[in-house]
């Protein structure tokens, strides 16, 4: 464990039990979410590469138009 994380846990231990549980719930959810997104992005590289190639082909064949946020 790093010194910084150890310091964070030391400070968190000073919170009330209810606040500690809320912090733990938040941290666990964040870690779970981060792992989920890492897995989803890792599993989608082939599809993302295909979509990027298609977008570039459309751009090079003048099948795209400039985006104007004022036209939304």
Measured distance CA(28)–CA(20) in Å, rounded: 12
User: How far does CA 70 lie from the centroid of its chain?
Assistant: 28
Q: Which residues have a Cβ under 8 Å from the Cβ of 58 and sit 6 or more positions away? A: 64
Q: Considering all CA atoms of the chain, what is the largest pairwise distance in Å, rounded to the nearest integer?
A: 62
Query: Over the stretch 6-45, which tens digit does the pLDDT of each residue have?
Result: 999 999 999 999 999 999 999 999 999 999 999 888 889 8
Note the pLDDT of residue 43.
Answer: 85
Are the C-beta atoms of residues 23 and 9 closer than 8 Å to each other?
A: no
């Amino acid at each position: 464990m790093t010194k910084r994380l150890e310091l964070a846990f030391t400070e968190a231990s000073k919170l009330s039990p209810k606040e500690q549980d809320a912090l733990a719930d938040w941290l666990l959810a964040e870690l779970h979410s981060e792992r989920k997104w890492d897995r989803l992005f890792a599993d989608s590289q082939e599809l993302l590469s295909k979509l990027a190639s298609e977008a570039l082909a459309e751009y090079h064949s003048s099948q795209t138009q400039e985006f104007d946020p004022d036209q939304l």
